[in-house]
Every structure is written in structure tokens, then in C-alpha cells.
Chain A
């Protein structure tokens, strides 16, 4: 039913139009597609159909605009064409199902608003519905990620595949399955009810942070970071903060991502190797993002309902951002923030980071004692962080042999090549049996 490229790009190439129009249409698609898809989804009640209709509208735009130029309000143009096609589709279905009157009534109601373009508030509401449905808990995490990047980030299937180092067909299949799952589960195009709100919002924030983290510390492959994914996540987060201005955790997540992203370019050394937080050249921290992060954190705190887990993590990141040198870091405050975080969202990783902060504030013995108190956790036993931290603390105490064993174990557990290289270098340092003050603990704000 659609002439559009199923990969999600507007499919300009095969129409052999001027390059300039194509690129311009691509840019318009990036900016407008989430709003157009959201508006159409409310009409047809199915995000898959809505996306098809939006792509049809883009193909129509390519034809029309190459003759008449890009209209003044390209978004409204796309929405109007999409809505007309949605009505055509409803009419066809009405005939098929012999439920003409009922559906035509709906179509007629919708037709009234076809050219009006919809009020800004209405569009924002539709966009928020689209956010919640793309991140619906009925979907597995990887499907939520793919669907969110595709429908709200405006990425093509190919771009998503490249970002996550998986085959394009795999991503395409994830998206198709996700749409089918949503349709079969009859998930309505609605905002979550009050009693489900917190859970549904948590799912949305989780998806955005998953995308960010895949960019910030790539879990697979040779690259230490993939900044473009961080940018996509940041953009989604900023959009969310405008859509849901009253939620401290949305602002907390935005603050956290802005502050972490401010350090992105300092995390890679001249030879492409990873540089950990305390070794980073702070002149390279991005002050635009630092200011944005601190401002978002302040807004989150100003909402009056206290900081949640994302907000607390942002507050910890802010401690680093405010310190002009690593020596100036307020580790006691960071340890206290990890305490608060451990109460809100208990996890072995939080306890681990708390132990690191305690060691920085009060010495390696305090850190080791805190490590011993961590309850054994199967998730942590296969993770490189625990042996990596323990190795560091032992090293600082001059217990070289024990340190080497821990660091070797950490190197064998990490899946990131760049990080493995870093750990191997520390094993070598421990083997040489001399103190190496340049060896830092892992980034405690992670």
C-alpha cells in the first residue's frame, strides 16, 4: 500500500529528483516526522499504519516540491497530505468491512481538522502518546530502543543498525515485530493512566538512557564511544523535558546525560585509547553541556519533590563538573549522594561506586571495607567492575600480588576492547611492583 522505502528513509533516490530537494526533504523529515506520525497515529490508532501514511506523504512531497519548491510550512503540508490518505484508507476499509456508516462518520469528523494542522498543544499530546507507545513495557527493551529511534529520532533502519552494530535486517525485523505486538495487544494510542504513570515513565526513561549508554560506553566493538548515539539520546531527552516539564526524573535524566556527554571528547586520548575521569583533561570538557546539565539539575531540584535515582546520579556527575581539578573533587559529598542513591535504588553497582567514593574521601581501607559489605550478586560476579575496583584499592595499599590477580580477572571479563587494553596495562604496572600514582579508579560517576 505504500510506495515509500520500507527502511524508513523517504526513498528519494529512486525518484531521481534534484539533490537539493532530496536533501531538503530529508531534513524536513528529520524535524517533522515524529509529529506527523504522532498525529496520524491518533487518527488511525496504529503506529505502523501511521508511519506508512507519513512515508507516503513524503513521497508525494518529493514529487510536488521538486516542481513547486518546498512550501512555507512543510510540516503542516505533510500532515495534511497524510491525513487525507488516512481518510482514503478508512473509506476503503469501511467498504471492505461493510461498516460504512460508522467509519465514514469518524472520517468525516477527522476531515474537519485536515487542513487546520492541529493545535500545538494537541500535537505535543500526540507526540507524548507516541513516546509512551514506542516505549511500551509489552515490548522487549531492544524493540523499544529501535522503535523509539525510528519513530521519535527519525533514524532510518540502516542508521539504527549501524549504531548498534547489528544487521539491518535484524533491526527491520525488530521493528516489524514490535508494531505487530502492539497491534495484537491492542495497545491504545493513549497516555498511561495515573496508576500506571510512574511505571510507564520509567520505561521511557530507561529506553533513552539505554541509547545514551550504548553511545557513551559501547558494549561491543572496537570503539570506546559512539558520540552520535549520545546526541540522539540527548535530543530525545530534551524533547521529553519539554513534553513533560513537571517530572523531576525527566530533568534528572537530561542533566545526567548532558553532564556525562560534556566529558565525551575528553574520554578518548590522542591514540584513541580510553581516558578515565580523573585522568581527563578538564579543559576539554564541553562547557556548553556542563552549563545545560547544571541548569537542568537545578530545575529538577526546584520542582520540590526531591531527586530520584537519575537526579541523584546527575548530582554526582555535577560534583565532578564543578571541580576544576580532580584533587578538588568533593568525595565526601559524592559518597553521601551514593548513600541516598543506594536507598532509593539499591544495586551492587551503586554500592561499588559508593565504596570507590569512600576510598577517595577516607582512604583505600574504607573503600575495601565497603566492598566487603557488598552482598554477593550473580550479576556482579561476571562483571569486570568489582575485580577492577578491588584491584585498584589493593594496589593503592601496596598489595601488588593480590591487585594483579583482581585486575587480570577484570580484563578477562570486560567485553570492550578499549577497556581491556586499559586493564591489561594496569596488570603490567602491578607486575612491575612499583607504585603507579597515575592509575585511577574507574569513573565513579558511571
Chain B
């Protein structure tokens, strides 16, 4: 089974705060390496500062765009790991090992990736249907 580890570093949303020091990057890379050596890592990415991003929100059937930064630092995602493990506990164990060096209150959300077989039959049928024609 696959899990997404979503990192919320809980730091200020400007470019300067968002640029990690080389030392922290080296520490994190050792962690990434551990994941690789265990054959667990599928992919990972770090995201640019929220101040460079945008928020598209929906209301009354309309999309509204707001430039970053966003309201709640705690809710902002800094990056993710996609890992393949045999249980949720194993995914949690990997998340616990992450060397989080950022501000207090950083979180990693552990979420299982949905597989086709997790969906009910009608949803699977919708996924199977041809998209063009």
C-alpha cells in the first residue's frame, strides 16, 4: 500500500523563511536516503514558498483566485513523500523518524493513497469509462 506523508512545516510563508539552511537539507537528505535504502521511497518533492503560490477557492459555482501567502501557516504544505509500505503503522513509523528542524508545531499528515479496488463498483465503472468519443 502507498502512503503520502504530507509535511506542514509551520513556518513563515515568505521566501527567506522558506529557504532551508544547507545543514537542514543535508540532515533531511540522510532521512530520504534511509527511505531509499529501505526500498520504501517512491517519490518526494519540496514546494516553493506559499508567497509565490496562489489559492483558488470555489463558491457558488465560481472560482476565485487569491495570491499567496495564505491565512494559516499551520495548514500550509511544504512538501511530501510518497512511500510504499505494508501497513499504516509502518508509514507512521517512517513519519516519526523524519528529522523536522523547522518551527514548533510542524506536522506530518499520514494518508493512504486510494487504489481503484478501494472504490465501490459504480465509481470504478466511472473511472473505466472512455473519456473521449
Contacts and interface: CB of A to CB of B under 8 A. Distances in A.
B51 interface: no
Interface string B77-91: 000001011110110
B39 A236 contact: yes
Interface string A265-282: 100001000000000010
Contacts of B36: 238, 242
B17 interface: no
B43 A288 contact: yes
Contact of A31 (B42, B93, B124): B93
Nearest to A159: B86
Contacts of A284: 116
Contacts of B42: 288-289, 292
Nearest to B116: A265
A270 B131 CA distance: 17
B128 A231 contact: no
A30 B86 contact: yes
B115 interface: yes
Given A27-B93, A288-B42, A288-B82, A239 B128 contact: no
B115 A265 contact: yes
Contact of A27 (B84, B87, B124, B125): B87
Classify chain A's interface size. 20 to 34
A124 B38 CA distance: 11
Interface string A111-128: 000000000000010000
A392 interface: no
Nearest to A155: B86
A180 interface: no
B92 interface: yes
B37 interface: yes
Nearest to B85: A30
Contacts of A291: 43
B106 interface: no
Contact of B37 (A26, A27, A239, A289): A239
A49 B36 CA distance: 28
From DSSP, what is the main secondary structure of chain B's interface residues? mixed
B40 A235 contact: yes
B131 A283 contact: yes
A31 B84 CA distance: 12
Classify chain B's interface size. 20 to 34
A39 interface: no
A153 B128 CA distance: 34
A124 B89 CA distance: 24
A123 to B, nearest CB: 9
Contacts of A30: 85-87, 90
Contacts of B87: 23, 26-27, 30
Nearest to A292: B42
Interface in A219-277: 231, 234-239, 242-243, 265, 270
Contacts of B92: 24, 27
A103 interface: no
A284 to B, nearest CB: 7
Contacts of B86: 30, 231
A239 B36 CA distance: 7
B128 A24 contact: no
Contact of B39 (A27, A237, A283): A237
A28 interface: yes
A28 B94 CA distance: 9
A375 B109 CA distance: 58
A242 B37 CA distance: 6
A281 to B, nearest CB: 7
Contact of A28 (B85, B93, B128): B93
A317 to B, nearest CB: 18
Interface string B102-133: 00000000000001100000001100100100
A27 B116 CA distance: 25
Nearest to B87: A27
Interface in A384-430: none
Contacts of A23: 87, 89
Contacts of A31: 38, 90, 93-94
Contacts of B43: 288, 291-292
22 contacts: A27-B92, A27-B93, A30-B90, A31-B38, A124-B37, A231-B86, A234-B39, A235-B84, A236-B39, A238-B36, A238-B39, A239-B38, A242-B39, A265-B115, A265-B116, A270-B125, A270-B128, A281-B128, A288-B42, A291-B43, A292-B42, A292-B43
Given A31-B38, A238-B39, 5 more contacts: A27-B90, A31-B94, A234-B39, A235-B38, A243-B37
- A-B CB proximity, top 4 nearest: A238-B39, A235-B39, A27-B89, A27-B93
Interface of B: 36-43, 82, 84-87, 89-90, 92-94, 115-116, 124-125, 128, 131
Interface of A: 23-24, 26-28, 30-31, 124, 231, 234-239, 242-243, 265, 270, 281, 283-284, 288-289, 291-292
